[in-house]
Structure 1
């Protein structure tokens, strides 16, 4: 059973570890990572979540991510998730930390609350989508989408695929990533 550390709305620890299921059922704040994988010509790597996921099964996500273990750092979790979900070994210094954002989401279908303090990372790669060895329990399909296509999809009332219903969050993160890249220059 997977346990998560709980936090308050300001990301301060509550010093209580609960099962992942309980955290999502009751709506405790917890920490996650979102890694945005960017190919210089092809855009952002998106994936369709496994149909067996408890939150947002079979929906498309625009980042790779996961929950931090009780003693894990944001960076450690990001490296682990890229290894588990995409089968790639990434050196921690290759991940660009952007910021921590707060997400207050709900999976209406499953009736679960997803309140996260998400560490946002950017990872640049030249790997093709077929070069990844995806973890079938987590990811069913991967595809790169260009920034214009991704933005258009997230703003559309009839997108090309069914995304996790956090379009405003995703658009906000894409803007943060653009700002981060412009500063990094």
Structure 2
């Protein structure tokens, strides 16, 4: 779905300009997104298999929930909205634990350049996987895997080809942040 997004400079500062998401991707304009990583107290992490019809990285495992911030929307509001839409779970701002903002540039082709600043959050998953309701248009599947397995496959680069290529430092940051909270 195309939507109006805020345009950022290369350092992540608001420029006061907006554009449609499709135009931001076509021109490689920086814009904000959210990532919400769900984890359980027994050291598992929730992953989403991206939909088969996604423009980027179809059928690769990815962050639990992710989405673009609408123009004028703050990252917490976006996170709450995206969690509800993508996995059918209702959370509030107090459930979100921000771990940072991460710059990402991925050139998929000449007309699709993702230049984004991911506002990354952790959120404890307090319900069983069976209670989640995936958004069929966006999410192919959901699974919980042990954090150690996720670490080995991303940080250890064992099965990196199965994951969206967010970069080693990003994955390390997420894993370390979850470990601190366990």
**Structure 2 length-normalised TM:** 0.89
Secondary structure at 1:150's aligned position in 2? helix
Is 1:61 aligned to 2:62, yes or no?
Answer: yes
Q: CA deviation at 1:77?
A: 0.4
What is residue 22 of structure 1 aligned with on the other side? 23
Render the CA deviation track for 1:82-111: whole Å, top value 9, x for unaligned: 100010111211111222221222335x86
> Which aligned runs of 4 or more in structure 1 are off by greater than 6 angstroms?
none
Partner of 1:116: 116
CA RMSD of aligned residues (A): 2.1
Structural mapping, 1:21-40, within 5 Å: 21-40=22-41
**Can you give the 5+ residue segments of structure 2 that lack an aligned partner in the other structure?**
none
Pair 160,120 (structure 1): closer, same or farther in 2 beyond 3 Å: closer
**Structure 1 pair 122–16 and aligned structure 2 pair: CA distance change class (3 A):** same
Aligned equivalents of 1:88 and 1:50: distance in 2? 19
57-66 or 71-80: which moved more?
Answer: 57-66
Distance 2:161 2:45 in 1: 15
What's 1:145 paired with? 145
In the comparison of the two structures, how many residue pairs are matched?
A: 180
Residue number in structure 1 paired with 2:11: 10
How far is the alpha carbon of 1:79 from its aligned partner? Answer: 0.5
Report matched runs for 1:32-111 at 5 Å: 32-41=33-42, 43-107=44-108
CA distance in 2, matches of 1:24, 1:14: 16
CA–CA distance in structure 1, aligned partners of residues 94 and 117 of structure 2: 22
Find the residue that maps to 1:165 and give its secondary structure.
coil
Q: Distance in 1 between matches of 2:60 and 2:140?
A: 10
Q: Deviations over 1:11-67 (max 9, x none)?
A: 112222212111112111100111010111251100100112122222110331100
The answer to whether the Cα contact below 8 Å between 2:154 and 2:160 also exists between their aligned partners in 1 is: no
Cα deviation for residue 138 of structure 1 reads 1.0
Residue 163 of structure 1 is matched in structure 2 by 163
Q: Summarize deviations over 1:122-178 as a string: whole Å, max 9, x none.
A: 111222222100101111100011111001111455528711122412233322443
Unaligned runs of 5+ in 1: none
Is the CA contact (8 Å cut-off) linking 2:69 and 2:78 kept in structure 1? yes
